[in-house]
Amino acid sequence: MRLMARTAAGLTIADGQCLIDDGFVTETIAASPDGLAVAPEVADDCVVDASGLLVLPGIVDIHGDAFERQIMPRPGVDFPIDVALADSDRQAVANGITTVFHGVTWSWEPGLRGPDNARRLLAAIERLRPTLSADTRFHLRHEVFNLDAEATIVEWLSDKRIDILAFNDHMAATAEGMTRKQSLARMVERSGVSREEFLRIAARVRERRSEVPGSVARIAAAAEACGVPMLSHDDASPEQRLHYRALGCRVAEFPTTLETAQEAAAGGDAIVLGAPNVVRGGSHTGWTRASDMIAQGLCSVLASDYYYPAQLLAAFRLAADGTLPLARAWALVSAAPAAAAGLLDRGRIAPGLRADLLLVDATAQRPRLVATIAAGRIVHLVEADRLMRAPARHPARLQGALP
């Protein structure tokens, strides 16, 4: 297969699955049921020789907070947000992620997950977005006990500044963690305040627990009115999933029990699990294996969670283990997350969709990403010798593309 660059603004994949112009797929040619295709000759100047590589839709990551480690690589050690986001962007595209939702937690806690940092991150994402290679979006993870944030969140929703909204409730886990010395120390370090002040803040917040349901309902109504997809995080029971579904949350993010996942699936909700769980063969928190849930039809989306390489590796592991065919496994990191986030212009290779494509060498023990194309631009390429000049009207062949 050869990938041809038409202009700085776009690419053409010739004699195969699709043609690209100005960042969008413009045509698919003679597609067969397995995704192979034949295209006519085109005139181009630059060719990327992609012989032997798979061509796959770009990865869509709707839940990832690995960028936090670029901001605070060690407790109490901060780096500028623009530096952190630029580095996270390079990591994302180097792992095949062409659409990334940075999961920004706005909690009642001060520090890394406090209000000032949430505002700075949103402003930085909006400012830097044109310069970043991946389509970078804002996933607000709202801690429901953060009652003082309600008015601002509703305003951000109205102003179309939030791309997806998740409801988180970590208060019970926080309260439990405060009884363990090591867990409390981590929370205090992250907050940037003294142990005594952190405990005082937590106590004040817990006293307002009766206000939480009303606040959640009002924010959910605002999100639904603005067409912003909603997720509920760590649903612990079927009843909790039913409650959030009634509020318009159609994505169950990391349900914590089998029964909850079954309720989500029965109701037609998207179910997000962590790709690191698949790669590692189990959950770091001791919960069930994600691959087992996938085999039972209880997971529709795999997210990077905290590790950007995991989505690419997880899809190929599912295929290698015989859990799913590669096309279905790949949909867990491309088409399904795009649909869950309301992005109907990506996640698949089809006319009119964004030209977000990956070239992957699947012949080695682990899949190796050779190139990432985002909106028709090559943003990552590891084998420079695949670049070459091409004569006009140069025919080429695309093998192994997935729809």
Which secondary structure element, helix H or strand E, spans residue 2, and what is its range? strand 2-7
Assess if residue 94 is contained within a domain: yes
Higher pLDDT, 290 or 393: 290
Residue 309 shares a structural domain with residue 235: yes
399 to 29, 50, 55, 257: CA distances (angstroms): 13, 9, 8, 41
**pLDDT in the model for residue 189:** 78
What is the side-by-side strand order in the sheet with 59-64?
A: 59-64, 97-106, 135-143, 164-168, 230-233, 251-253, 270-274, 301-303
Residue 146 shares a structural domain with residue 243: yes
Residue 316 shares a structural domain with residue 378: no
Q: CATH no. for residue 44? A: 2.30.40
3-state secondary structure at position 234: coil
Question: Can you give the residue range of the structural domain that contains 261?
Answer: 59-169+212-340
Using the predicted structure, report yes or no on whether residue 20 has a pLDDT greater than 60: yes
Residue 152 shares a structural domain with residue 280: yes
Residue 102 shares a structural domain with residue 227: yes
Parallel/antiparallel/unpaired status of strands 270-274 and 251-253: parallel
> pTM of whole model > 0.75?
yes
Residue 287 shares a structural domain with residue 362: no
Using the predicted structure, report yes or no on whether residue 78 has a pLDDT greater than 60: yes
**pLDDT in the model for residue 127:** 97
Name the nearest CA neighbour of 47 among 96, 6, 93, 94. Answer: 6
Residue 14 shares a structural domain with residue 151: no
Assess if residue 400 is contained within a domain: no
Residue 135 shares a structural domain with residue 71: yes
**pLDDT in the model for residue 27:** 63
Residue 246 shares a structural domain with residue 294: yes
Residue 357 shares a structural domain with residue 256: no
Q: CATH no. for residue 78? A: 3.20.20.140
Assess if residue 198 is contained within a domain: no
Range 323-331 average pLDDT: 97
**pLDDT in the model for residue 96:** 98
How many independent structural domains does the chain possess? 2
